[in-house]
Amino acid sequence: MHRSLKTWRWLPFLLCCLVAVSMSYSTGCGDGTGKNTEQGTNPDGGSECTVSGDCATGKLCASGKCVEPECGEGTGKTCAAGKTCKNNVCVESEGCKSDGDCPVGKTCNTEDGQCKDVVVDNNVDKVEIISTASVLTEGATAQLEAVAYNKSGARLSGDFKFKWASDTADAVSVDAATGLATGGSKDGEAKITAELEGKTSAPLTITNFAKVPSGKVRVIVRDSAGKPITGATVKVADKEGTTDANGAATVDGTAPFDVHVFHNDYSYFSAFQINKNDLFIQLPKNADDSKAGGVKGKFDYGRIKSLLGLTDEEWDESTVSIGFAGFAIPGNLLDIDLTSLLGENIKTKLLGNELKLPSGVSIDIAGAGKAEYQTLGQDGTNLIWALGSKFTLKELEPLIKAATSGEELNIGKLLADAKSLLDKFVFGFKSEITVSAVARVTDTNDINGDGKTDDLVPDFDKFPAQDIVLDRKLDQSITVNVSAAPTAKGSDGKDLQFYLISLAGVRIPGYGLVPLGLAVDEAKSGSNTLNVKYTKPEGVLASGKFLVLTIGLTIPAGENAPPTLIAANLQMSDAAPSDVTVSEFVGFGSAGKFDAAGGGKVTNGKVNGADFQILQVSTPGKGGWFVVFGGESITLPTAPDGRLTGESTANLFGVKLKSGQTIDSVLEFNALNMDRLVEVVEGFSSAETSK
C-alpha cells in the first residue's frame, strides 16, 4: 500500500478524449453521416436513389434502386443458407473471422469460417492452492482456497469439494472438508495439499509460531507475496532486533510501544502506540522502475450489435469504437492508481488531434486512432477485464455542447452528461494470463508525450497479444444512495466541486478486484443517487466476494486546479445487492503537515471520522515509508538510508474500520493480518499533506 488514489482522474480524462474525437468532425447534414434525413424524396421507388433516405418509408436503396428489404428486424424474413443479412439485403456470407462474428456460445473456426459450438472440457487435470497464507500463530485460522484446471489450462468453475490434508497437524491442522487451517502449539512448518478427482495440488507451506511469552514482543515481517524478509531491523521502543530466516524478530518489551521496521530494499514501516505483543507486518518491495510487464491486443466488438439489439443501419452508423482494459487489481484498494488500472500514457494522433491516452484505452474511427490497448500487470498469473462499445457521432454530439464553455473544456458538465454512454458499454474478460516483466526501453520518440526522450517506457512490442471479445451485456443494476457527498473548501474559501463514481465488481481469490461496471455523476448538495449497470458474474467471476466501491473526488483540472481529494466507501457481500446506502464519507486530512526535511514530524494529522491514519511517504530514488498512527502528531525516527529528503511527499489517509475492529486488531498477528485489510475497511479518504 505505497501509492495514492490521486490518479483516479483517468475517468474524466478518458471522457475528454471522447470530446476531442467528436470535435474532429463536421456534423453537416443529418447527424454527420452525410445522409439526407428527409424521408420519402422518391416516393414512387424509382431507379434513382443514393441512400435509403431517398426512398419511400419501408424501402431501402440497393444498387441505386428503391427496393423492399429482404431481411432484418421487422421484416420477418431470413436469408437462405450460405447467405447473411447485410443492411437488410441478403449477400453471400464471408464466414466468421473471429469469435465476435459468432453468436454467444459458439466460437469461430478461422480455417473454414464456420461458427462451431464451444466444447467445454470439465475434466480436472490440475489442482492448485491459490491462497497466499504463509504464516499462522497458535489458535489463529486461515481459510484456504483451491481451484481446478482442465487440460487446456482453463480454470474450471463449480462447487468443487476439495479434500484437504496437512503433513504436520500439531504445527498446522486443516479441516479436510472446508480447508480451514488452524495454527497449533508447535513451532514449525506444515505442508498443506488439496485433492480433487484423483489430482493433488503442489503443497502450500505454512509456518506456525507458538504464542509469545509475557514480556516479549514478536514482529513477523513478510513481503507482499508472503515470503519472509530476512535481515530487517526491528525497533520496539528502545530495543532492537533483526529478523531471522522466518522473518521473525523477538525483543523485550511491554505495551504500549512504538514499532519501526527498516530494510533498504523495501518500504519502511512505523506504527505508534500499539497494545499487542505479536505483530504481522508486510512490506512492499521498492519498485524496479527499469522493468514492466503486461499484455496488448484489440477489442472484438462483433457481438455488440446483437447484445444491444441494434438495427443494421444503427450498427453501420456506429463508427467510433471505444474500449479500455486492465488487470484485476491485487492487494488492498488503498493502493489503486492509474498505472494499476489502465497503464501509462501513450501519445496518439486522431484525425489531426494529438492526445495522450492511458495505454489501456483504445479509440478507433474507421482504422484511425489507437486500435490496440496495452496494459501493465504484476508478474504472475492474472485476469484481464475490458469494457467497450461502438458509438455514432450523433451520440457524441451532446458531449461537445456539454464540454465546451468558451475555449476550455467544462470537465464537470462533461462527466454529468457522459453517464448515458456508460450504459451502452459491454464487458469482456480473459483469465489465466501470464505476465513477465521485461526491461523498459529509452523513450527516444517521446511516445508518452512528456517532452523527454531520455526517460524509460514499457517495451510494448514485447508484450504478448491477448485480443478480448466484448460479449457480456451490462444487464444488471445496483442503486447507490449517497446520503451526502463529500464537501471541502478551496484556498479561496469556496466549496469545491466533487464527482461521484460507483464501481461494482468482484474480488476473486488469486486474482483481485475485477470491475464489472460503473456509474459516474456530478455530485450535488444533499443526497445523490447513482444507477450502476454491470454484468452478472458467472463462471470464474462468480467465485469471489461482491464489492461496491463508491468514491467522491475532486478533479484537479483548469487554471485554478483544486487539490486532489478522495473519499471512498467499501461494501462487500457474498452476493450482489440490489441497492446500497452510503451514509457518510470519512473527512479529509487537508490540514495535515509533514516536515520531511526537518525531522519527519507530522502535525494536525487527525482525520475526522477515521479510526486511525495512514501516512504514505514517497521519496524519489529512495522508496516509501508506511506509517500507522491514531493521534494528532508524531515524529518518525532517523531513517538508516536517509529516506526522508526535501523531495519527499506524503498522502494522509483516514481509515474507518468495520464495527469491532481497531488499529491493534489490524496489526496483531492473528486471523486477519494487514494483507486482508480491505475486508475490514468501511471507508477511507486521501489528501496530500503540506510541508
In this model, does residue 523 exceed pLDDT 80?
Answer: yes
Could you count the other beta carbons within 10 Å of the beta carbon of residue 477? Answer: 16
CA 145, CA 635: separation in Å to the nearest integer?
41
Confidence of residue 77 (pLDDT cuts 50, 70, 90): confident
pLDDT (0 to 100) of residue 468: 95
For residues 76 and 507, the model is more confident at 507
**What are 536's three cell numbers?**
452478472
Answer yes or no: is pLDDT of 12 > 80.
no
pLDDT in tens, 288-310: 889 999 999 999 999 999 899 88
Which residue in 187, 182, 267 sits closest to 222, CA to CA?
267
pTM greater than 0.85: no
Where does the pLDDT of residue 33 fall: very low under 50, low under 70, confident under 90, or very high at 90 and above? very low
d(CA 658, CA 652): 20
Exposed/middle/buried for 62, CB within 10 Å: 0-12, 13-18, 19+?
middle
- Beta pairing partners, 261: 234, 269
pLDDT one-digit tens code per residue, 357-403: 889 989 887 777 888 999 998 888 889 999 999 998 788 776 655 54
Residue 678: CA count within 13 A, CB half-sphere: 25
Bond prior to 256 in cis (omega within 30° of 0): yes
Q: How far apart are CA 348 and CA 358, in angstroms?
A: 10
Q: Say what the pLDDT of residue 295 is.
A: 94
- For 529-550, write each residue's pLDDT tens digit: 999 999 999 888 888 889 999 9
pLDDT of residue 402: 53
Cell of 292: 514492466
Give residue 329's pLDDT band: very low, low, confident or very high (50, 70, 90): confident
Q: Specify the DSSP class assigned to residue 61.
A: E
List domains and CATH numbers for the chain. 99-130+139-210 (2.60.40.1080), 248-277+589-688 (no CATH), 474-585 (2.60.40)
